[in-house]
Amino acid sequence: MILSDKTIKERLKTGEIVITPFKEEFLQPASYDLHLGRSILVFNTEKHNMIDIKKPVEDLMLRKELKEDEEYIINPGDFLLANIEEVTGVNGRHVGRLEGKSSLGRLGLIIHATAGFLDPGNSLKMTLEIANLSPLPIKLYAGMKIAQMAFEQIDQFVEKEYGHKSLNSKYFGDTDVKASQMFKNF
């Protein structure tokens, strides 16, 4: 069951859901608007021409820090990682689902490829997997509305929350954008 605006506010008060900072003006009828953070990672194509998912590559991605309201131009076909500004979290009875804003999707901007799920027990700045599918460059701005989070209650509390030592939770509690840790699965 997706939670309504009223229920999201109730669960924020009880601590079952976390949104920091929270501003009521960004609360939608069944979601909360999220904003683009300032740290982004882009592929280092000058140093690398292939990705081997079994090997860690420390310099595979380059970090760029944007100033408040600073623009970043994402060209057609480009891909980058970025965080949202807000920390979002859920207890062991809830999940969050990250969704794109339809106005950006209509411009060809995709904000997540696969990682739009906030696991029970995790609280972090979600990572966006941003791609430009349009034939034109798109300007992104630090602090702009870029996504929304819907929250759902699951049927019962989970046995093991994300971050449990047996789960190999690679992104537990992240507050800064991080490149893929896929190599840890091998």
- Round to whole Å and give the CA distance between 33 and 148: 4
> Which member of 16, 129, 152, 159 is catalytic?
129
Residue pair 31/123 in contact by the 8 Å Cβ criterion: no
129 catalytic per annotation: yes
Q: Which residues contact 166 (CB under 8 A, 6 or more apart)?
A: 160
Q: Which residues are known catalytic residues?
A: 129
